[in-house]
Amino acid sequence: MKSTVRFLLAALCLSLVGCESTRHEVTASVKEKFTGPTYVRRVYAADLRSVFDVARSNAERLGFRITRAGAAQGVLEGVSRLTSDDRLRGSRQQTIKVRLVSAADGGTELAVLFTEIIEDDFDKGAGQGVETPLRDHPLYASFFAGFSSLPVR
């Protein structure tokens, strides 16, 4: 009887560990299903072209190959190299999406989103990858670190 109670108490404690972070992840995931992924935003006291040039060089510095870019359109997109698991049965790749707009009070608003595309098993068919937004990922800090020359609003 005592061992059953101990087991149930231990199971309850383990089930409650990490509840706050799990609840945050679930809430963010459900929100993104309806509103789309959440971009990380910063406003810089600089013209759009200057912010675009820094964003492009930062993306390339992080190892992204630029696939779409237009300063006038305020768009920058890129992909990282493909990586695979030890058995070469799946692959993963990261993407960067940057949107730039002129801020209402001057300056430029930059919004960036990193995603990861994972294809688990090539036996299931090529092109069956799942794209997931990366939240609270170190890539954001690395990307924004390159903007130290531009003043933030």
Say what the pLDDT of residue 47 is.
92
The parts of the chain modelled with pLDDT lower than 50 are 20-24, 26
Residue range 82-112, pLDDT digits in tens: 887 776 667 889 999 999 999 888 899 999 9
Distance CA(100)–CA(109), nearest Å, equals 6
Supply angle C-alpha 13, 28, 115, rounded to 5. 115
What whole-number percentage of the chain has pLDDT above 90?
46
Distance CA(56)–CA(42), nearest Å, equals 15
Domains of the chain: 1-36 (no CATH), 37-145 (3.30.310)
Distance CA(71)–CA(23), nearest Å, equals 39
Say what the pLDDT of residue 24 is.
47
